[in-house]
Amino acid sequence: MRGNHGYNQESIQDMNRTLLISLLRKEGICARAHLANLSMLKQATVTNIMNDFINWGVVKEVGFLVGSKGRRSIGISINNDDYGVIGIRLGRKNYTVGLFDLSGNLVDHRRREVDAGPKPRAIFDKIKREAKDLMKLAKQGERKVIAAGIAIPGPYSERRGRIELMTGVSGWNEISIQEELTEDLQLPVFVEQDANAGALAQYWHKEEDYKNNVLVYIADGQGVGAGIISNGELLKGSIGVAGEIGHTSICFNGPKCACGNFGCLENYCSSIAFTKKVNEELKSEKELSFSETAKLVQDGNEKAVDIFMESCDNLSVGIVNVINSFNPAFIVIGDDMAHIAPDLMLERIKKDVEERVLPEIYANMDISMSVVSSDSMVHGAAIVAIMDIFSHPGKYFEQESG
């Protein structure tokens, strides 16, 4: 605990544990002595903490490593078999529930589409059931689920524990997501805005590149949002809704948005806006779904490609606003729209951005497409939970020993 009284013994131990398990995760497999070098902790401290971790089943020994002078030492790594977390991603038109190991690797998952019909209450109940099913499956495989994270479309008020606005879907603001999940799953549950979760997923996998810098993850999906990580910390804002770039305007006299603003970015480049536009332009008899319209782009349908490009151009305007606001070194673009034609999208956005920002700024930044997984946000949801586990290992595992 930070405070006027300094650090007590217990919190020092927690900090050392956190440091070591984080280092071990990044190293993959290594020897205790190597961890002592990296952490600058005493060998005895490392040995004691690793003994606890091994007793708890968080770390395991994985045979011998041969060092530079031919000396053999026992290799250790995070035990990815005994514990797990649940990651949930709630979208406007679908949801994903996944089981992850302690390193943040996906073990099993279900993605479900949601029709326009069912109300948030019914969808939420289904999500809870799927999460419990996955926990049951995990248990059959002798994996104990110890925490859960959920990534939700913002703006989400952390203080109220509720989604304040989900464009195009009403009723979510009546559900206490965290409270209900905690009670139902009987687990610590962490809620994060989806783009923030996506940013954390990127950061988790490439921390070496991103630390001491500004990373912005842009989720271009059913809504548009940004997760901003500066020097390893998420920028959350005063009530936790920073990064809602979907509701920044790119056209001051554009159509009015449900948030109150006019010409909001997400109404020009989200997957919902894109699908709607393709349907309007193609005047097809049957309304095409997002994946059908995406397929048209991939198949080279001229009209669909034009609309996709226009959507990229619109997103670029939003990205330029982000660049001039936060001066990021890294921008990573993810979510549904980013998976239609990643190379095409990246090329177009880079060209647009280069034209619109100062050369000095452009020369010192990098734009790329998300490579973490097809859904960095469900990944990120799990990582939010794992981060808490790694921050307080004692809280999760101490009672397991004996």
Q: Which of residues 45-104 bind Zn ion (CB under 5 A)?
A: none
Stretches 68-76, 143-151, 264-272, 384-392: which one binds Zn ion (CB under 5 A)? Answer: 264-272
Torsion of Cα atoms, 286 then 287 then 290 then 296, to 10°: 50
Q: How far is the CB of 272 from Zn ion (least distance, A)?
A: 13
Residue 91's Cα: distance from chain center in Å? 13
Binding residue for Zn ion, selected from 23, 137, 235, 259, defined by CB under 5 A: 259
Pick between residue 251 and residue 344 the one whose CB is nearest to Zn ion: 251
Site track for Zn ion across 198-237, x = CB under 5 A:
----------------------------------------
Pick between residue 89 and residue 247 the one whose CB is nearest to Zn ion: 247
Per rule CB under 5 A, is residue 269 in the interface with Zn ion?
A: no
Residue 211, C-beta contacts closer than 8 angstroms, at least 6 positions apart: 231, 232
Binding residue for Zn ion, selected from 19, 264, 296, 320, defined by CB under 5 A: 264
Q: How far is the CB of 345 from Zn ion (least distance, A)?
A: 23
Pick between residue 259 and residue 305 the one whose CB is nearest to Zn ion: 259
Q: How many CB atoms lie within 10 A of CB 110?
A: 14
Q: How far is the CB of 368 from Zn ion (least distance, A)?
A: 27
Per the structure block, which two tokens stand in for 229?
Answer: 């990580």
Pick between residue 93 and residue 247 the one whose CB is nearest to Zn ion: 247
Stretches 97-105, 198-206, 240-248, 377-385: which one binds Zn ion (CB under 5 A)? Answer: 240-248
Binding residue for Zn ion, selected from 218, 257, 384, 386, defined by CB under 5 A: 257
Per the structure block, which two tokens stand in for 199?
Answer: 């940013």
Binding residue for Zn ion, selected from 93, 143, 247, 348, defined by CB under 5 A: 247
Stretches 13-21, 260-268, 346-354, 377-385: which one binds Zn ion (CB under 5 A)? Answer: 260-268
Q: How far is the CB of 311 from Zn ion (least distance, A)?
A: 17
Pick between residue 143 and residue 247 the one whose CB is nearest to Zn ion: 247
Pick between residue 244 and residue 375 the one whose CB is nearest to Zn ion: 244
Pick between residue 244 and residue 352 the one whose CB is nearest to Zn ion: 244
Pick between residue 267 and residue 370 the one whose CB is nearest to Zn ion: 267
Stretches 8-16, 254-262, 270-278, 284-292: which one binds Zn ion (CB under 5 A)? Answer: 254-262
Stretches 42-50, 261-269, 281-289, 320-328: which one binds Zn ion (CB under 5 A)? Answer: 261-269
Per rule CB under 5 A, is residue 261 in the interface with Zn ion?
A: yes
Pick between residue 204 and residue 274 the one whose CB is nearest to Zn ion: 274
Stretches 19-27, 188-196, 262-270, 287-295: which one binds Zn ion (CB under 5 A)? Answer: 262-270
Buried b (16+ CB within 10 A) or exposed e, 79-96: bbebbbbbbbbbbbbbbb
Stretches 20-28, 78-86, 246-254, 299-307: which one binds Zn ion (CB under 5 A)? Answer: 246-254
Question: Cβ(30)–Cβ(65) under 8 Å?
Answer: yes
Question: Cβ(86)–Cβ(134) under 8 Å?
Answer: yes
Per rule CB under 5 A, is residue 272 in the interface with Zn ion?
A: no
The site that binds Zn ion (CB under 5 A) totals a number of residues, namely: 5
Site for Zn ion, rule CB under 5 A:
247, 257, 259, 261, 264
